[in-house]
Amino acid sequence: MSLLNLSYTKTKLKNGLEVIIHQDKSLPLVAVNIWYKVGSANEKPGKTGLAHLFEHMMFQGSENVAKEMHFKYIQEAGGILNGSTSFDRTNYYEKLPSNALEIALWLESDRMGFLLKALDESKFENQKSVVINERLERYDNQPYGLAWELIVKNLFPKGHPYSWPTIGFKEDIESFTLDDVINFFKLYYSPSNATLVIAGDVDAEEAINLVEKYFGEIPQYETPPFPQTENFTLAENFYVEHKDNVQLPRLYLAFPTVKCYQPDDAEFEILSDILSGSKNSRLNKRLVFDEQIAQDVSAFQFSGKYGGMFIIVSTAKPGISLSELKKKILEEISLIDSKGITEKEFLKTQNGIKSNFISALQNIDHIADHLNHYNFYLGEPNSFEFDVNRYQSVKPDDIQKIAGKLLSKNYLELNIISKES
Amino acid sequence: MSVTRTKPELKNEIKFQLDNIATQTLENGLKLFYLRKEKLPMLRLNFVVEAGGKFDFLSKPGTARLTSQVIDEGADGLSALELSDEFDLLGTDFSISADNDFIIFSLQSLTENFDKSIELLSKVILKPDFPEKEFEREKKKLTVSIMQLKDDPEMIAEQIFDKIIFGNHYYGLPVRGYLDTVENIFPDDIKNHYQKYFKAENSFIAAAGNIPSEEFFHYAEKYFNTFLSSSEKILLPESIETPDKKVFVYDKPDSVQTEIRIGYLSGRRILSDYFSKLLFNTIFGGQFNSRLNSNLREKKGLTYGIHSHFIYYKNSGYFSINTSVSSENTFEAVKEILNEMQNLENGVTKEELEFAKTSLTRKFPLNFENYRQLTSNLSALAIHNLPLSYFNDYLQNLNSVTLEQVNEQAKKLSQSDMKIILVGNKISFTEQFVFNGFEIVDVDEKGMKAKIK
pLDDT digits (tens, 9 = 90+) for B145-163: 999 999 999 999 999 999 9
**pLDDT for residue A407 is more than 70:** yes
Instruction: Provide the CA B51 distance to its chain's centre, in angstroms.
Output: 15
Residue A420: what pLDDT? Answer: 81
Q: Collapse the DSSP code of A308 into the 3-class scheme (helix H, G, I; strand E, B; otherwise coil) and give the result.
A: strand
Supply the DSSP string of B375-392, one letter for each residue: HHHHHHHHHTT--TTHHH
- What is the arrangement of strands in the sheet containing A238-244, beginning at the earlier edge strand? A238-244, A412-418, A250-256, A308-316, A294-303
Residue A186: what pLDDT? Answer: 97
Chain B touched by A346 (CB under 8 Å): no
What gap in Å lies between CA B294 and CA B284, rounded to an integer? 10
Cβ–Cβ under 8 Å, residues B52 and B64: yes
Check B301 against A134: CB less than 8 A apart. Answer: no
Cβ–Cβ under 8 Å, residues B325 and B335: no
Cβ–Cβ under 8 Å, residues A254 and A411: yes
Mean pLDDT of A354-366: 96
Chain B touched by A120 (CB under 8 Å): no
pLDDT digits (tens, 9 = 90+) for A74-98: 999 999 999 999 999 999 999 999 9
Supply the DSSP string of A351-408, one letter for each residue: HHHHHHHHHTTS-HHHHHHHHHHHHHHHS-S--HHHHHHHHHT--HHHHHHHHHHHHT
Amino acid identity of A120?
D
**pLDDT for residue B2 is more than 70:** no
Check B89 against A351: CB less than 8 A apart. Answer: yes
Cβ–Cβ under 8 Å, residues B175 and B64: yes
CB atoms within 10 A of CB B270: 12
Mean pLDDT of B424-434: 94
Residue A57: what pLDDT? Answer: 98
**pLDDT for residue B11 is more than 60:** yes
Cβ–Cβ under 8 Å, residues B151 and B78: no
pLDDT digits (tens, 9 = 90+) for B363-418: 999 999 999 999 999 999 999 999 999 999 999 999 999 999 999 999 999 888 88
**pLDDT for residue B242 is more than 70:** no
What gap in Å lies between CA A260 and CA A281, rounded to an integer? 24
User: In chain A, pLDDT over 70 holds for what percent of residues?
Assistant: 100
Check B358 against A248: CB less than 8 A apart. Answer: no
Check A137 against B257: CB less than 8 A apart. Answer: yes
Chain B residues touching residue A96 (CB < 8 angstroms): 362
Cβ–Cβ under 8 Å, residues B61 and B181: yes
Chain B residue with the nearest C-alpha to that of A62 = B5
In chain A, what is the straight-line distance between the N-terminal and C-terminal CA atoms, in Å?
Answer: 55
Largest CA distance in chain B: 75
Mean pLDDT of chain B, nearest integer: 94
Summarize chain A as % helix, strand, coil (round to 5).
45, 20, 35
Residue A279: what pLDDT? Answer: 96
Chain A touched by B288 (CB under 8 Å): yes
CB atoms within 10 A of CB A234: 16
Contacts of residue A225, defined as CB under 8 A and 6 or more positions apart, other chains included, come to: none
Chain B residues touching residue A353 (CB < 8 angstroms): 91
| A 164-183: CB under 8 A from B | none
**pLDDT for residue B221 is more than 60:** yes
Residue B333: what pLDDT? Answer: 97
Check B81 against A248: CB less than 8 A apart. Answer: no
pLDDT digits (tens, 9 = 90+) for A254-272: 999 999 999 999 999 999 9
Mean pLDDT of B40-59: 96
| A 21-80: CB under 8 A from B | 26-29, 63-64, 67-68, 71-73, 75-80
**pLDDT for residue B245 is more than 60:** no
Check B298 against A419: CB less than 8 A apart. Answer: no
Chain B residues touching residue A132 (CB < 8 angstroms): 326
Distances (CA, A) of A161 to A88, A176, A214, A260, A301: 9, 19, 34, 15, 18
**CB pairs < 8 Å spanning A and B:** 204
The beta strands (E) that lie in A236-320 are given as 238-244, 250-256, 294-303, 308-316
Chain B touched by A392 (CB under 8 Å): no
Residue A266: what pLDDT? Answer: 98
What gap in Å lies between CA A49 and CA A53, rounded to an integer? 6
Report the residue of B137, B299, B369 to disrupt the A interface, i.e. the one with the largest count of A CBs within 10 Å: B369
**pLDDT for residue A389 is more than 60:** yes
Chain B touched by A155 (CB under 8 Å): no
**pTM metric for this prediction:** 0.94
Confidence of residue B12 (pLDDT cuts 50, 70, 90): confident
Instruction: Provide the CA B64 distance to its chain's centre, in angstroms.
Output: 16
Check B366 against A80: CB less than 8 A apart. Answer: yes
Spell out the alpha helix ranges (H) of A192-342.
204-215, 265-276, 282-283, 322-339
Confidence of residue B452 (pLDDT cuts 50, 70, 90): low
Mean pLDDT of B166-186: 95
- Neighbour-count burial for A312-335, b at 16+ CB within 10 Å, e otherwise: bbbbbbeebebeebbebbeebbee
Structural Rg of chain B based on CA atoms: 24
Confidence of residue B231 (pLDDT cuts 50, 70, 90): confident
Cβ–Cβ under 8 Å, residues B440 and B245: no
Mean pLDDT of B181-200: 97
Confidence of residue B70 (pLDDT cuts 50, 70, 90): very high
User: In chain B, pLDDT over 70 holds for what percent of residues?
Assistant: 98
What gap in Å lies between CA B323 and CA B259, rounded to an integer? 6
Chain B residues touching residue A363 (CB < 8 angstroms): 369-370
Check B359 against A136: CB less than 8 A apart. Answer: no
Residue A1: what pLDDT? Answer: 54
pLDDT digits (tens, 9 = 90+) for A279-309: 999 999 999 999 999 999 999 999 999 999 9
Amino acid identity of A413?
E
Distances (CA, A) of A165 to A149, A187, A249, A258, A342: 5, 21, 23, 19, 38
Chain B touched by A117 (CB under 8 Å): no
Residue B218: what pLDDT? Answer: 98
ipTM for the predicted complex: 0.92
Chain B touched by A226 (CB under 8 Å): no
Which residues is B317 bridged to in the sheet?
B312
Distances (CA, A) of A372 to A34, A112, A228, A365: 8, 17, 22, 11
**pLDDT for residue B243 is more than 60:** no
Cβ–Cβ under 8 Å, residues B381 and B269: no
Looking at per-residue confidence, does B17 or A285 come out higher?
A285
Which residue among A29, A64, A364 sits closest to B5, beta carbon to beta carbon?
Answer: A64
Chain B residue with the nearest C-alpha to that of A346 = B89
| B 239-258: CB under 8 A from A | 252, 254-257
Confidence of residue A383 (pLDDT cuts 50, 70, 90): very high
| B 23-42: CB under 8 A from A | 38-42
Which contiguous run of DSSP H or E holds residue B414? helix B403-415
**pLDDT for residue B1 is more than 80:** no
Chain B residue with the nearest C-alpha to that of A134 = B304
Confidence of residue B241 (pLDDT cuts 50, 70, 90): low
Task: Single out the residue of A60, A65, A105, A57 nearest to residue A85, CA to CA.
Answer: A57
Check A130 against B137: CB less than 8 A apart. Answer: no
Check B91 against A354: CB less than 8 A apart. Answer: yes
What gap in Å lies between CA A51 and CA A36, rounded to an integer? 10
Helix axes B390-399, B271-281, angle to 10 degrees: 60
Chain A residues touching residue B352 (CB < 8 angstroms): none
Check A72 against B355: CB less than 8 A apart. Answer: yes
Looking at per-residue confidence, does A110 or B18 come out higher?
A110
Chain B residue with the nearest C-alpha to that of A102 = B8
Structural Rg of chain A based on CA atoms: 23
- What is the arrangement of strands in the sheet containing A90-97, beginning at the earlier edge strand? A9-12, A18-23, A194-200, A29-36, A90-97, A80-85
Chain B residues touching residue A137 (CB < 8 angstroms): 257, 303-304, 324
Contacts of residue A121, defined as CB under 8 A and 6 or more positions apart, other chains included, come to: A178
Chain B residues touching residue A348 (CB < 8 angstroms): 85, 88-89
**pLDDT for residue B248 is more than 60:** yes
User: In chain B, pLDDT over 90 holds for what percent of residues?
Assistant: 87
Residues belonging to chain B: 453
Which residues is B419 bridged to in the sheet?
B263
Mean pLDDT of chain A, nearest integer: 97
Cβ–Cβ under 8 Å, residues A264 and A405: yes
Cβ–Cβ under 8 Å, residues B60 and B184: yes
Supply the DSSP string of B168-215, one letter for each residue: TSGGGS-TT--HHHHHT--HHHHHHHHHHH--GGGEEEEEEESS-HHH
Report the residue of B108, B151, B307 to disrupt the A interface, i.e. the one with the largest count of A CBs within 10 Å: B151
What gap in Å lies between CA B6 and CA A238, rounded to an integer? 57
